[in-house]
Amino acid sequence: MKRTNELIVGLAVLAVIVVITWGVFAVGDNMPRGVTPYSHDVYQLHNTILGIVTVIGVLVFTAMFTSIVVHRKSKGYKPASFSHSTKAEIIWTAIPVLILVVMAIPATRVLIDMEQTGGAEMNIKITGYQWLWKYDYLEDEISFFSALDRESNRARQIGSGINPRDVENYLLEVDNRLVVPVNTRIRFLLTADDVIHSWWVPDLGWKRDAIPGMVNEAWTYILEEGVYRGQCAELCGKDHGFMPIVVEAVSREEYDAWVASQRQGMADTAHESARLWTRAELMDHGANVYQAQCAACHQPDGSGLEPAFPALARDGQPTGELTAHLDIVLNGREGTAMTAFGGRLQPQDIAAALTYTRNAWSDDEGEVVQPSTIAELNQG
């Protein structure tokens, strides 16, 4: 009878643990499988380790709760009087060691594979900034910045009146996606220009720190076309939560067409920097640039957040001389959060943003800055 009761209690505890474990998997609370061979290996390793520790947990907790319920003092059980067993100590030491060895073999293989970045068909340099990414396609000679898209940026502002739930992919969309071809071995070279960032796209199966002064390597081989989203995974400052990553994997043909369009765009950018812009063009483009690059700190109305982020306008007039304003935007301000935008934005973007801030909140017509002026200052 006693043995029967012990068996019933043990089976009941085992059933509860199995049901809970099955429930976790059934509702999809497992890690994503990803779209790369490496992410598949990581997923399989995760399931293998989870299976081992689940079995261990089931056995240990079944034995523990069975003992607690069946062998309690109120039922007349008395504790054993032995104090030492060499055989038991050997067993409970040897078995965990064997389990760790079984777990270490596949884990070591996956870790070694993660570091094998050779044999790449293309190389992309990723540079982290506060708070956006720069991508350099080394073979294709393409370079651009990728920042939070304008709709998400507007919705996140205090008092914007926009419901974030109405914004598609809120805080997970960018203005320029990282476009890569599928079935291509790609090496990433990661670094940072200011503080430590971390480039993380879960579907690729890994994340890497981007550290100033050093270069980390990683690789990927995307098997399926699609859009894969991630974020900076290192606390990098006040706007850390607004630094998304979007990878768009396309066919080789689509990728080649995209490269051609990017090169044409770079040629158009050079032309745009050389021509004279009208005041209306500068104001219209400047509003977009300001909202994307400046409004988070200096506020949409230019009122700033003193003392960290000074106001750009007071009483309907722009603050500061234009020459000083130009220098700060191009070269940054040491000891403050103001970074140098001379190497981040195109001359027409900087000229338009400056024209906008000198005029948007002014009672009088302020200065107009041409892209050619910014290009000359950058070269100097």
Q: pLDDT tens, 46-102?
A: 888 888 888 888 888 888 888 888 778 777 777 777 777 888 889 889 998 999 998
Question: Kindly report the CA angle at 367 between 361 and 370, in degrees rounded to 5?
Answer: 120
The answer to whether 53 touches 47, Cβ cutoff 8 Å, is no
Q: Any residues with CB less than 8 A from the CB of 325 and at least 6 apart, and which?
A: 318, 354, 357, 358
Residues 218/186, Cβ–Cβ less than 8 Å: no
Tell me how far apart the alpha carbons of residues 169 and 156 are, in angstroms, rounded to a whole number.
13
| 275-379 placed in CATH 1.10.760.10 | yes
- What are the residue ranges in the chain where pLDDT is below 50? none
Which residue type is seen at 283? M
Report the relative pairing of strands 197-201 and 206-210 from DSSP bridges.
Answer: antiparallel
Q: Report how far residue 201's alpha carbon sits from residue 228's, in angstroms, rounded to the nearest whole number.
A: 7
Of 107, 108, 99, nearest to 53 by C-alpha is 99
The pTM (predicted TM-score) of the whole model is 0.77
Tell me the Ramachandran region of residue 315: left when phi exceeds 0, alpha when psi lies from -120 to 50, beta otherwise: left
* Distances 6 to 9, 63, 69, 323, 328 between C-alpha atoms, Å: 5, 10, 9, 86, 77
* Strand bridging mode 244-250 / 178-181: parallel
Q: What are phi and psi of 211, to 5 degrees?
A: -115, 130
H runs (alpha helix) in 275-370: 279-293, 295-298, 322-331, 347-359
Q: What's the confidence (pLDDT) of residue 86?
A: 85
Do residues 9 and 75 make contact, with C-beta atoms less than 8 angstroms apart?
Answer: no
- The answer to whether the bond into 219 is cis (omega within 30° of 0) is no
Side by side, the strands of the sheet bearing 206-210 are: 178-181, 244-250, 226-232, 197-201, 206-210
Q: What is the pLDDT of residue 15?
A: 67
The β-bridge partners of 309 are 305
Q: Please report, for the chain, the start and end positions of each structural domain, with discontinuous segments joined by +.
A: 2-71+85-114, 122-255, 275-379
Dump pLDDT digits (tens) for 2-15: 556 556 655 666 66
- Same CATH topology for 122-255 and 275-379: the answer is no
User: pLDDT at position 370, please?
Assistant: 86
Residue 61's alpha-carbon distances to 14, 15, 18, 83, in angstroms, are 8, 11, 11, 23
Does the domain made of 122-255 have the CATH classification 2.60.40.420?
yes
Distance CA 322, CA 330 (A): 12
Sign of CA dihedral 328, 296, 195, 200: negative
SS3 state of residue 271: helix
Question: What's the pLDDT score for residue 57?
Answer: 83
Can you read off the two tokens belonging to residue 329?
């935007």
Query: What is d(CA 146, CA 176) in angstroms, rounded to the nearest whole number?
Result: 5
Peptide bond connecting 131 to the previous residue in cis, omega within 30 degrees of 0: yes
Cα Rg of the chain (Å, integer):
29
Residues 6+ apart with CB under 8 A from 60: none
The Cα 180–Cα 232 span in angstroms is 19
